[in-house]
Each structure stands twice: as C-alpha cells, then as structure tokens.
Amino acid sequence: MRILLLEDDTMIAEALRDTLKAAGYAVDWVADGDAAASALQTHDYPLALLDISVPRQNGLAVLQGLRQHGGTTAVILVTARDALDERIHGLDLGADDYVVKPFQPEELLARIRAVVRRRQGAATPLLSNGVISLNPATREAAANGNNLRLSAREYALLHTLILQPGTIFSRQQLEERIYGWNEEVESNAVEFIIHGIRKKLGSEVIKNVRGLGWLVAPKN
C-alpha cells in the first residue's frame, strides 16, 4: 500500500519513512502542504499521514481541500499533545484518525492497520479470500497448510491483491502500490516478488492472467 507522508522535519520524516517501509508500505514524502495537496490531486493514495504544523498550507487545510474535492483517501493527522481543538476540528473535517506527538512507531502502525480495516468493513484483523489469510500485524500469511512470514515487498504485493480479491492488477499498478518515489524498480521486480510468495504459499495462491496481470481468487 502506498502512503503519502506530509512532514516538514527531515529527521522525523526519514525515521517515519524507514518505519513504514520496513512494515511493507511504499512511502512518498513531501515537506509542505502545497506539495501534499498537489500529490493528492495527481495520485490515488489509499492513505495519507498529514502533520498539521507544516508550511504552505497546514495539514488541516490539505485535508479540507481533499474532502471538498471529493477525495476519499484515508487520513491520519499528526498533532501536538496540547492541540485538542485541532484534533476535534480535524476529525470534523473528515480525518479518519490521529496520532499525538511523541508517539511510538508501533502505535502508528496499529492505527494505520485499524483505519484500513475500517475502510474495508472488516470485523477481524485478518484479511482473507477463503484461500489465503494475511495478518497485517505480523506480516504472516497462511495457505495450503503453510504459515510463513513474508518479506516487506511480498507483504505489500499480497496485501494489495487481497484487499481486492478477484481484481486483476497490471505490473504498473502493482509497482505503483509497492514502490515509492525515487525507488528504482527492476524490470522483473513484480515477477520476482510473486515467485517468492508462491514458493512460500503454493503456486496457485496468485493467478496470472496472460497479458493483463495478476489476482487472487475472489472470496468464496
């Protein structure tokens, strides 16, 4: 899953980007509100992490513009400990959740998982199409009696497919969801990742539709 990160502090942004990438997310980082608003207009992000206190449009203004233009990207706001009014205002503007600085990486990752789960209408933390089960908290996948932990890239790709079982994703669509800006992508990267998943879980867990792309089976 690809996340837009709005944070003007370079040290914090790099730490957050590393945390998110290690958890299997692709991250596009911008340092001001204008850049964030532009990115949200030109890319279809499933989720954005917006710091409120940034230059050239604060995070609340970016959120307001997104919702006014019909944008459905899930938004988690990053706020200061004493900014209760900002948090309430942000939720009323359409934010899905917030985290308060300082926070632990584990809390942020848990909130991201919860927001994605709510957006999918899932009652349990496990994602499943009846053949494969994926645990976003542990990056463990189960199929055909195998229960193994996936690499960050393997998780990102399988997570993309299992969120929309039965939907065919092209190579370009998968690359856009598992790689961030300025990340070099080898020509056979998607095939290599899929090979790794199939080796762990079985050759039939991800199906290839010749000339179109890949999918996991729709829910039974």
- The H or E element spanning position 97 is strand 97-100
Residues 29-44: pLDDT tens digits? 999 999 999 999 999 9
Instruction: Tell me if 56 is assigned to some domain.
Output: yes
Reported as a single tens digit per residue, the pLDDT across 142-184 is: 998 888 999 999 999 999 999 899 999 999 999 988 988 878 8
Look at the chain and report how many structural domains it folds into: 2
DSSP result, 8-73: S-HHHHHHHHHHHHHTT-EEEEESSHHHHHHHHHHS--SEEEEESS-SSS-HHHHHHHHHHTT---
Are residues 116 and 131 both part of a single domain? no
Question: Considering 67, 87, 120, which residue would you say is the last residue of a domain?
Answer: 120
Over residues 24-33, mean pLDDT: 95
DSSP 8-state class, residue 218: P
Query: Which amino acid appears at position 110 of this protein?
Result: A
Q: pLDDT value at position 84? A: 85
156 lies in a domain? yes
Domain boundary among 120, 140, 155: 120
Please report, for residues 99, 135, 164, the alpha-carbon distance to residue 107 in angstroms, rounded to integers and kept in the order given: 8, 16, 26
d(CA 145, CA 65): 47
Instruction: Tokens 């010749």: give the residue.
Output: 210
CATH number where 207 lies: 1.10.10.10
**pTM (predicted TM-score):** 0.84
Domain shared by 108 and 200, yes or no: no
Distance in angstroms (rounded) separating the CA atoms of residues 197 and 206: 8
Residue 220 in domain:
no
State whether 94 and 168 are in the same domain: no
Q: Are 8 and 112 in a shared domain?
A: yes
Q: Which domain holds residue 21?
A: 2-120
pLDDT digits (tens, 9 = 90+) for 177-217: 898 887 888 888 999 999 999 999 998 899 999 999 999 99
Which among 95, 120, 145 is the end of a domain? Answer: 120
**Would you state the pLDDT for residue 219?**
76
Q: What is the CATH number of the domain that holds 84?
A: 3.40.50.2300
